[in-house]
Chains A and B, each alone.
Chain A
Amino acid sequence: MADEPTLTFDRKRHWELSPEKEAMGAWVQKRRLADAMRTVIGRLVQSNAPENELCAAADALERYAEQLESHERLRRYEGYGEAANAGDVGAFFDQSPMIGLANPLAPPIRLEDIDESSAVGRVVFGAAYEGPPGSVHGGFVAAAFDEVLGYVQSMSGAPGFTGTLTVRYRSPTPLHTELEFRGALAGREGRKTFASGRVYAGETLCAEADAIFVSATPEKFEALLEERRKMEAERES
């Protein structure tokens, strides 16, 4: 088992490509656009805007979506090496739906190492992520744990995919408040990596989580890329 190949993971390069690194050129504007969309999303769900104004905005955005469609497409994970050399942050982390500064779905979470086996994810969830009144939707609390523990497990040197994730909710997680998702490695057994974490709002413990990750072989990763190429070719034909 120990001899089986796993995905190689250069943590230094991971950091080089991380969202904290300054973007260049079009990526600066892409991040800016994503940020403006986050603000619109946050205000839209709560807004009592009049019908004609909403209609005009929908028209404009439909046109813009079409315009975007006319450009060449980028794909996450492809050209990973080239992107690193060119200092292009976008190809990898900027597109993530949890930490990606260029993905309007991402709150986004900012990851930071604490030491060799633990990290913290800092995030503020806005109005669009509301579940119970004034509180973050429990699903997004789970999603944030998946992201932060997924980052922590990569510190083991044998990154993999989530096998099991368990979240125990302790008290409602507030919106509009800086949250700290603290995660740490909790051991390895064969291809399994264990990680656990807690989320705090100030001193208040909001939830705890445990996750088991199963390390991925390079072949598995390649197979997924191949599968995606097929899927996209089908969609385009």
Chain B
Amino acid sequence: MSDRVEQQRQFVDRWEAFKPPTSGAWEQKRRLAAAMRGVINRLVQSNAPEEQLRRAAIELERYADRLAGHPRLRRGDRDTPAPAEPDVGTFVDQSPITGLANPLAPPISLTPEADWCVVGRVSYDAAFEGPPGSVHGGYIAAAFDEVLGFVQGMSGDPGMTGTLTIRYRKPTPLYQPLRLIGEIVKVENRKIFTEGRLLADDDTLYAEGESLFITPHPEHYDRLIEARSRREAERRP
């Protein structure tokens, strides 16, 4: 049991160290991501006139061109600066589900609460609508994958998702504060078994999930980074 507590402590320390600083360019990037979320959520519901939308589109096309002119960061690269340096956070901040600098992320905020347990807090805005007034089931599955993917890391030997199962109990409302609790159930050799529940403030159960993670051999991750570099080189002749 004390091993688990120690592993948990090390995991949280590592995770904290990867959080980017709350100043400088990263802070503005997060602000920009938040502003984009505001636009995304209003855009899907807005009856804005054609001319205004056209002007906004032109501005954003120009801005996209400008962004392309800057050097690129890569998520999870071994050669990204060490955590003590200012431009870290490429991993935590870029996640499409929890990343504050990624406009796709609702975002879910994660808090490790006990050993082998994490709580994700989130509320979904208009752009995430599936059934009327409800969160799209696909984004619920994605949330489980992220939260269970985080908690399995507490086992000490993080793996990659092998199987993910979601059971939807009732429609999950938009705009409401939600909790997604993830736990490690057991670890067997390279397999990590996890479970999670998506709940309302009053503990109404919206969905349950379970996921099996498999710890890859260490070379696996390096092979993925190599493959990524190769594909990126191909995209830029």
Contacts and interface: CB of A to CB of B under 8 A. Distances in A.
Contacts of A41: 36, 102-104
B137 interface: yes
Contacts of B103: 37, 41, 44, 104, 128
B24 A137 contact: no
B70 A97 contact: no
B56 interface: yes
Q: Which 5 A-B pairs have the closest CB atoms?
A: A134-B228, A228-B133, A139-B142, A143-B138, A139-B145
Contact of A29 (B32, B36, B50, B67): B50
Interface of A: 25-26, 28-30, 32-37, 39-41, 43-51, 53-55, 57-58, 60-62, 64-65, 67-69, 71-77, 95-98, 100, 102-105, 128-135, 137-140, 142-147, 150, 161-169, 172, 174-177, 221, 224-225, 227-228, 231-232, 235
A96 B175 CA distance: 17
A133 B228 contact: yes
Given A41-B103, A51-B27, A58-B31, 6 more contacts: A40-B36, A51-B24, A95-B127, A138-B149, A139-B142, A146-B136
Contacts of B73: 45-48
A169 B49 CA distance: 44
Interface in B24-82: 24-25, 27-29, 31-36, 38-40, 42-50, 52-54, 56-57, 59-61, 63-64, 66-68, 70-77
Interface stretch (B157-165, B183-191, B192-200): B157-165
23 contacts: A26-B49, A30-B48, A32-B57, A41-B36, A46-B72, A46-B73, A54-B29, A95-B127, A103-B43, A104-B40, A129-B96, A137-B142, A139-B97, A142-B138, A142-B144, A150-B137, A165-B141, A166-B163, A167-B164, A176-B235, A231-B133, A231-B173, A232-B133
A128 B163 contact: no
Contacts, number: 319
Contacts of A50: 25, 70
Contacts of B173: 227, 231
Contacts of B227: 133-134, 174
A128 B104 contact: yes
B29 A44 contact: yes
Interface of B: 24-25, 27-29, 31-36, 38-40, 42-50, 52-54, 56-57, 59-61, 63-64, 66-68, 70-77, 87, 94-97, 99, 101-104, 127-134, 136-139, 141-146, 149, 160-168, 171, 173-175, 221, 224-225, 227-228, 231-232, 235
Given A45-B101, A68-B48, A74-B45, A176 B231 contact: yes
Contacts of B141: 139, 142-143, 145-146, 165, 167
Contacts of A36: 57, 60-61, 63-64
Contact of B42 (A68, A162, A168, A176): A68
B132 A225 contact: yes
A169 B162 contact: yes
A163 B167 CA distance: 6
Contacts of A139: 96-97, 141-146, 149
Contacts of B128: 97, 105
B39 A164 contact: no
A67 B225 CA distance: 42
B233 to A, nearest CB: 12
A134 B50 CA distance: 37
Contacts of A69: 42, 46
